[in-house]
Every structure is written in structure tokens, then in C-alpha cells.
A and B are shown apart, each in its own frame.
Chain A
Amino acid sequence: MSLIEFHRVGFQIGPKVILRELNLTVEAGETLVLLGRSGSGKTTALRLINGMLFPTSGQVVVSERPTTEWDAVALKRSIGYVIQESGLFPHFTVGRNVGLQPELAGWPKEKIGERVRTLLRTVSLDPDEFLARYPRQLSGGQRQRVGVARALAADPGILLFDEPFGALDPVTRLDLQREFPRLVTELGKTAVFVTHDVREAMKLGTRIALLEAGCLVFAGTPGEFQMCGHPEARAFQEVFRDAG
């Protein structure tokens, strides 16, 4: 079943075209990686899924309903979102950061506390050690873990990742890249992951969608991606081969 569908989606700001005629589907349970250079429209495509942006033409359908017909708050709360540098609220503790969405949804306090502890354990952080810390007291990797825990808080079916590991040191990044597929599979989530790093795309994606200047030039498995003859795909393949 397609959980997310892009039907001839266009997006432009004034005269500037960001996305054109994008047709793409994301099946339940898969991890689709949106790969492309900076400015190729990846983040815009991601934000069209949770209603942070709306298409200027065509439509994005989430769970069989166009995003324009969803209640804006309900759509966003049904989708987890993780961004680079995690976007944690610096004035809230780790516990409050992770528990904020359930709090906004009106969960009882004890249930929130329980949920936060479970989630921190899920992302390999000891609740007793981290609950009361502030984001500034965490390392980059720990912040991203908390960011993932926060995105999972209201148990969304879909998770969106916008270059979440982009600002991490290579060792921490590799750690999280190893853990990520396990987490997504174990929790049975559907994920859309934005990156410009082809190695990350090959490692994490069950499918890769390659964007070039707002156009989709390839969509397929990592194996198929390596065989793709499109010049943009070949440019990324070369980077992948050079990286060994």
C-alpha cells in the first residue's frame, strides 16, 4: 500500500521553480532516500509530506488523503520529523523535549513520563542519566538520538529525516547510520530520508529517489541506482566508487 504519493507535484516561490512534475510513491514500511545536490528540492519535497509546505500544482497524498484536506495540526502530529542539529528546544530538558508532543496532545502526565523513558531506552540513552539534561549538555550524537526519540513520541507511522546526521563527526555518524535501519525496521515505521551523501543513501535506503534541479531523474533500489545511466546518477556513482 502506498502511504505517501506525489501526483505531478510542482512547487514554486514566485517565479522560482523548486519542484516540477514530481511523481513518486512511498510504500508502507520502506525507507525512501531523497538524494540530490544542494538546491535540488529534497527538503521541499520532504516538507510537502507533513504539510509544512503545500504544492503549487498537483497533490501530495498521505494515507489516502491529500495534504490539503488534512487538518494541518493532525497531519503534522501523525508524522515524526528529525532535522539536522536536531532542532531541540534549548530551554527544555531532554525529558520535556521528548514528551512535548504527547503533552500537546493532552496525554496524562504519568503516561508521558513512561513513554519518554521507553523512548530514551529505544535510542540507547539511559533515562536516569539524560532525562534532566539540557540539549547544550549533550554531544552532537546524543542530541540526534534525542531528536529521533522526540519524533517517535506520539508513535507516528511516518518519519521524515532531513539530513539528520549531516553535522556529526564521521565516527558518530557511522554509529547512527548503523543503528538507524534497525530502529526503523523494528518499530515498523515508514521513513523518508533526505541526504546529499550517496554513501548514506546506499546504506540506509530500501529505495533511492534522485532529484536534479527539482526533477525526479531516478527512483529504484540501491542496486538499480548503481546501474542507472543518467548523468546525474553517474556523477553520484562516481562519488560512491571514489569513497570506496
Chain B
Amino acid sequence: MPDNVVDYDVLRDILEEGLPLLGEHLALVITAMVIAAAIAIPLGILVAHTRRWRALATGIAGIGQTIPSLALFGFLIPLPLIGGIGAHTAIVALVLYAVLPILRNTITGIQGVDPAVRDSAVAMGMTRAQMLRLVELPLAAPVILSGLRIATVATIGTATIAAAIGAGGLGVFIFRGIASVDKWQILAGAIPSALLALCADAGIGWLEKRCASS
């Protein structure tokens, strides 16, 4: 059969296998993003006002970013508890990658609050918690969401490599396709992950705009 003709049996097989892989991919990304946000946003809030802590936190978070993703997966495999083959190791690596953009944007967002607005809040007798809830977080929200968007899009891409350490996801198609020189398999992994990244970018971007205009 000519190479460019679609074999419907292959397509059906891809679809049957693809849905669970898409589910795995989403699970990897969502779990990693929830954990990364739960670490980076509170940490960003805590360190935003102190230069020394700010530098330390972004410095440590930046270390993860400097290691190439495949190498990082490799580094993690031999480690006890967080390492090994499978999804949990991949999630650790994805979290390490996602923390920095969220952390950096949380710090930038909180620091970006107009000093006059902050002064007004202090002069009004707001407590630290009220200031955070009523002033800093709402005003920093678009910038924090922008960090979440960047991190999510990158995580969707990096998660395809997680298949190399047995974490599943759409990367399974890509790696298998490369190994067997099967472009349909490669596309079956590449197209949905690209669409997923575009949807995440548009969806979170829409939230960002809504926050910025309210």
C-alpha cells in the first residue's frame, strides 16, 4: 500500500490506544501543574517582599530548568522514593520544570502592585492577610496566570518525553513511531499534544485577559 494512503485499520487502532494515552498525558500534566502551583504560588507570595529570599528561591528553582529534560528524567530514575520507572518520577521532573515560571511570575505580579495602592491598603489598616486577599492576589492574578500558562504549555510538551521512562502519555506514540519509522504513530502523538498545548494556551490566556480587564 502506498505510504500516503490512510490505512483505516491503523487509524482505528491508534484511536483505540490514543484515548487512554491522552488521558494519561492529561493526568501527568494536571497532577504536575497542581503540585507546581501549590509549591510556587505560596512560595512566591512568601519571598516576594524580601530580596535575599527572592534570589534564593528563584536560584534554587532555576537549577531544575538548566538540566535538559531527558537528562533530568535519567537523573531521577536511580533516586530512592522519588525515582524509578513510571509516572511518579515523570511528575517529579515536570514539577521541577514548572515551578520556576510560576514562581517568577508570582513574585513579579506581587511586586508589580502599585506602591500607592499598597500604601492605601496599609493606611486603611488592612491586615497582612486582607492585603493579600483583597489587593495583592487580585492585582497579581493576570501575571500569575501568565506564568501558569507558560508552565502548562511547556509541561504538555515535556510530558511527551516522559514516555521514555515508562510514564505513558502521548509520547508513547512518538517514541514507538520513531523506533519503527512509522509516521502515523509519530503524528498520532505529536498532533494531539500540539493541540493540547494550543488549547491550554488559549484557555488560560482567556482567563488571564478576563482577570486583567476586571
Contact = CB atoms under 8 A, between A and B. Distances in A.
Interface of A: 50, 52, 72-77, 79, 81, 83-91, 100-101, 104, 150, 160
Interface of A is mostly: mixed
Given A83-B119, A87-B119, A76 B124 contact: yes
B139 A90 contact: yes
Contact of B120 (A72, A75, A87, A104): A87
A77 B119 contact: no
A91 B139 contact: yes
Contacts of A150: 120
Contact of A104 (B116, B126, B139): B126
Interface string B96-125: 000000000000000000101101111111
A87 B117 contact: yes
Shortest beta-carbon contacts, A-B, top 7:
A87-B120, A76-B125, A81-B123, A87-B116, A77-B125, A73-B125, A91-B138
Interface in B61-114: 114
Given A76-B124, A77-B124, A90 B117 contact: yes
Given A52-B119, A83-B119, A91 B214 contact: yes
Given A52-B122, A91-B214, A73 B127 contact: yes
B107 to A, nearest CB: 20
Interface of B: 114, 116-117, 119-127, 130, 134-135, 138-139, 214
Contacts of B130: 104
B33 to A, nearest CB: 25
A90 B135 CA distance: 9
Contacts of B114: 87, 90
A50 B124 CA distance: 10
Contacts of A89: 117, 120-121, 134-135
Contacts of A52: 119, 122-123
Contacts of B138: 91
Contacts of A84: 116
B72 to A, nearest CB: 39
Contacts of A100: 124, 134
A88 B116 CA distance: 8
A124 B143 CA distance: 36
A104 B125 contact: yes
B7 to A, nearest CB: 55
Contacts of A77: 124-125
Contacts of B121: 89
